[in-house]
Amino acid sequence: MIMASIIEREENSKANRPGVAGVLWKRFDNGIGLGADATVLYALGRTSGGLTYQDLQTNSPYNTRKFAGLPPTPIANPSLSSIRAAISPESNDY
């Protein structure tokens, strides 16, 4: 559910969510940061907007640009399409 919540916030298009899931799971499996802007925004108490260099330095377990792995809790209430994408990610070269 944590990954599904990240997918929900990262991608608005239901059709693109499996591809995003594929990228995120590949990063997770390789032990690198997910690099999801949505998790940094969550750490900052925001749901949208740009991120500054200072924002990306936020020392929070929700900052997946700084820390590898999943954050401790979901960052949103995932839709069924995001849950399905997290369960069945699309394989890709990204």
Cα separation of 71 and 89, whole Å? Answer: 19
Q: What element of type H or E holds 86?
A: helix 80-87
Q: Tokens 């990204």 — which residue? A: 94
Per-residue model confidence (pLDDT) at position 94 = 83
Cα separation of 31 and 37, whole Å? Answer: 18
Q: Is the pLDDT of residue 93 over 90?
A: no
- Give mean pLDDT, residues 69-76: 98
Q: Pick the more confident residue, 94 or 38.
A: 38
Q: pLDDT (tens digit, 9 = 90+) per residue, 8-55? A: 999 999 999 999 999 999 999 999 999 999 999 999 999 999 999 999
Per-residue model confidence (pLDDT) at position 61 = 97
Confidence tier at 73 by pLDDT (50, 70, 90): very high
Cα separation of 6 and 57, whole Å? Answer: 19
